[in-house]
Structure 1
Amino acid sequence: MDDAPGYVLGNDDPAMVRLDALSRVYEPATAAWLDAAELTPGASVVDLGCGTGAVTLAAAERVGPPGRVVGVDTAPLPLAVARRRAAEAGHGGVSFEQADVTTWAPPGPVDAVLGRLVLLHLPDPVALLARLARSVRPGGVVAFQEVVLSTRAAVPPLPLLTAFNGWLLTALGRLGVPADLGLRLGAVFRAAGLPDPVLVTGQPLEHGGDATGWSIVGGDVTALAGAFERTGTATAGEVGPADFEQRLRAQAAAADAVLVDPLVVGAVARVP
């Protein structure tokens, strides 16, 4: 097993469902973070690790028709979804590139570089930020949003969610993926030579068995079942990925539970 950090959550159709659920749950927190970035009409923007394009399209709304937004991702399926959604929304200034996000660089200076939930999957976030910051014009923006996975909870506690949280944090720890990178963003920005960032946080609350966040958990279970096995965290028999989400939703409904989705932290800094 390669224990270097990397994207472990998959890019097949179930993963697309998970990404869409994540975008819906975190839309308000993402909007607050992008508002703090103060993207101006006509700006040129890069969205690194764009996935299905939720942040790319939100940035395009802020920079308007004169602006240009490029979404970059390694996976072809999310990019196909992103291209279709951009075309349906009529965003002519949006384009997408399939590339290795650890080495990709814009062809010229840009006004902003963004990324949501991408740094935790990369081997050296500091080096990436330092490199990309050199492509941002003076006074431009570097803005990244990351999660604190240890903060997901249910009230009252649900046995299946408690088990999942343990499996997730153990497996990611063994894979070298930082589950709490949101809390480290200030340090990452400073180590990359950027000023202290403005931090914008959000932690959605949902209620009952119909909460959207259960789809995120279910998608994680499906994607990570193999990683749980490889890391010796849990067997497929223990996890039961095929119906895990349904069982979790049933527990939540029976307990009338509140889901505390993981905290997200958005960092925004201007290049001197």
Structure 2
Amino acid sequence: MTAPGDHTETLWLAVRFSDLDVAGHVNNVAWLRFVHLGVSQLLASRLPLANRAEAGAPVWRWVEAHYRRTVQAVGTPIVVRASSVEQAEGLLVAAGVGSVGLDGTVVDCVAAEVFVGPSLSPTPEVVSGQFGAGPPPALTSRWPWSMVVPVRPPDRAEGGALSPVAAADLLQEARHGALSGWRNGIRGRLVVARVGLDLGPAWVGDEIRLDTCCARVGRASFDLATRGVDPVTGATVVQSTARIARLMTDTDRSATPWSEAERALLGQLRTGAGSG
């Protein structure tokens, strides 16, 4: 489930009712929570609590997750294996999440890579760089869907940046908001097949503006890109691209290509036509 590294940890969990979406499947935010728990367990074993005050707690910089199998039953045993490799500017963690059958067989469900770097200074200031400060970027036709969401204290990681699980939850809300206006024109069930997110080194304020656009339409999938912007400082605190695919049944193992009518509808999505 993971590539060999200099340190490996295994964590056993179980699916909770709150992990399920409206279709009864474990949702992609819950899968990322499993990854987060596995990575946290690994980091805790590498850096004892007594040493963290001096070294500073490491924080996630980016994650790339691939979703391979669905799980529906509450109580399904889950195993997370996380393996780390030291790099010049931080730690690269490969995490695999699998469901465990009655015979002990593990079925791979999610494969993720997480890059963990040094913690931020716990002050409400924006760190310069790729996610710089400035006036909030203006909404254009390239970003036709936008929503402003409040930031709760538990949404912040140590140092004040957005936590990875909170980021995944907010990004899921943004994707739902973007898709709600035209979803009925697509047959089957839309699922997140892959998601990547970059967490910016900026203190998160009381609100985040989430802007979403359709960045790509493929033969059997499309990509939604989302940026999270602090409306006050203009800092981009998170960026993400999610690949959305369509399954016709729960037993499908590959995405079903779009029909001509569906492709035409997705073409409107690509240009933001009909967005509110």
Instruction: State the TM-score, normalizing by the size of structure 2.
Output: 0.30
Bigger helix fraction: 1
Task: Tell me which protein shows more strand as a share of its residues.
Answer: 2
- Higher relative CO (CA 8 A, sep ≥ 6), structure 1 or 2? 1
